[in-house]
Copies of this chain bind each other. A is one copy, B any other.
Amino acid sequence: MSLIVQKYGGTSVGSPERIKHVARRVARWQRQGHQVVVVVSAMSGETNRLVALAKEIQSQPDPREFDVMLATGEQVTIALLAMALMDMGVSARSYTGGQVRILTDSAYTKARIMRIDEDRIRADLARNQVVIVAGFQGVDEAGNITTLGRGGSDTTGVALAAALKADECQIYTDVDGVYTTDPRIVPEARRLKSITFEEMLEMASLGSKVLQIRSVEFAGKYNVRLRVLSSFEEEGEGTLITFEEDEKMEHASISGIAFNRDEAKITILGVPDRPGIAYQILGPIGDANIDVDMIVQNVGHDGLTDVSFTVHRNDYQKALKILEPIQKHIKAREIVSGDKIAKVSVVGVGMRSHAGIASTMFRTLAEEGINIQMISTSEIKISVVIDEKYLELAVRVLHKAFGLEQPAR
């Protein structure tokens, strides 16, 4: 017998039929002798409906009240799922975040989980009950309702798995696992049986948006065994996210090709090459709450250097406006920029011990006449910025060059 935490997202519980489907799956696990804790999101569309309602009242909804309202979405789903389970003869009990006391800080709309009182859940499990917990929400010390922000339900699932020392945290979603790349671009893309935690972080942040980064980080920190599965397919073991070294042994050099076309690049040319200059440029960008992804600065010469970085396209114009006075102030020569770019990355812990990954990547792109505009590397990934129009081509040829269509693990 093992203790399993399962998390189902908004699409998986998007209608009464889908909720019944989830109930049947949960019931199956429970009948096999497992203890099951289920975390659910709001039914798909519900959060958008509530947000629209709030904005009709207040263009910038008060964060405390916004959370009071948003938290109702998951509260409806937990009750419905409990009913569906009881309707098929399975004993079940629902809890809001506040009721199992998912204690958070008071940062409304983006609260952090601080502690979970697991006693109540353990008592229910011991009585052979399925416990259903509202994702995305908690309460602060004063009893105010809080929400966890984007991907909050995944975080709730992982946090509960950590608190309960669950054997596995299963994230059910509309894909059946993590793929070597997007199958819409490369039909030969393969589902990975496992992927390391670090690779998952790189894959997720680079555009294979299966899991929210925050929940993966959380799982890594508390050593929660995390598995991504499809809620729409009956069979399939999904993709296991691994943390232990020995599980990585047989890995190929590269796990997958990630990509992203949401970014824009900005380059400041002829920047005086002196200490603190990067901060002078990027500090105000950060102060404006603009996330910067890649940052590239090469060795300068003649006392001048060039600094390039990428931001989300939504922040592109805002970033340019912030930079104009800075360029004048630091006496840089010129700003050049563009948003018709794409980022392509090869990701894999195997590249730590396999030489030649970078050269294979660059050669492959060169053979197709694809110009590389920026390069950035980490221990387990190499990212390049290219012209957006070559994105699909680049992903396809790299997937083939690294033999990702072959079953490797």
Contacts and interface: CB of A to CB of B under 8 A. Distances in A.
Interface of A: 16, 19-20, 50, 53-54, 56-58, 61-62, 64-66, 68-69, 71-72, 75-76, 78-80, 82-84, 86-87, 93-94, 96, 98-99, 143-145
A68 B72 contact: no
B143 A99 contact: yes
The residue among A58, A78, A144 with the most chain B CB atoms within 10 A of its own CB is A58
A84 B75 CA distance: 23
Contact of A87 (B58, B83, B144): B58
Contacts of A83: 54, 57-58, 61-62, 65-66
B66 A79 contact: yes
A6 B71 CA distance: 25
A58 B86 contact: yes
A58 B94 CA distance: 15
26 contacts: A16-B53, A16-B56, A19-B57, A20-B57, A50-B76, A53-B76, A57-B83, A57-B87, A58-B84, A62-B82, A62-B83, A64-B93, A65-B78, A65-B80, A65-B82, A65-B83, A65-B86, A66-B79, A66-B83, A68-B82, A68-B96, A69-B79, A69-B80, A71-B75, A72-B76, A99-B143
B75 A57 contact: no
Nearest to A49: B76
A89 to B, nearest CB: 12
Contact of A72 (B56, B72, B82, B98): B72
Given A83-B62, A143-B99, A68 B57 contact: no
The residue among A57, A69, A78 with the most chain B CB atoms within 10 A of its own CB is A57
Nearest to A75: B72
A97 B58 CA distance: 24
A235 to B, nearest CB: 25
A68 to B, nearest CB: 4
A42 B7 CA distance: 29
A76 to B, nearest CB: 5
A57 B84 contact: yes
A75 B96 CA distance: 13
Given A62-B83, A99-B144, 9 more contacts: A16-B57, A20-B57, A53-B80, A54-B83, A57-B84, A65-B83, A66-B83, A69-B79, A72-B72
What 3 A-B pairs have minimum CB-CB distances, sorted nearest first? A69-B79, A72-B72, A16-B56
Contacts of A145: 96, 99
Nearest to A80: B57
A19 B20 CA distance: 35
Contact of A65 (B62, B68, B79): B79
Contacts of A96: 68, 145
Contacts of A98: 98
A114 B16 CA distance: 35
Contacts of A94: 65, 68
A96 B16 CA distance: 26
A62 B91 CA distance: 11
A24 to B, nearest CB: 13
A84 to B, nearest CB: 5
Contact of A54 (B69, B79, B99): B79
A71 B71 CA distance: 12
Contacts of A86: 58, 62, 65
A129 to B, nearest CB: 12
Nearest to A88: B58
A279 to B, nearest CB: 37
A144 B20 CA distance: 24
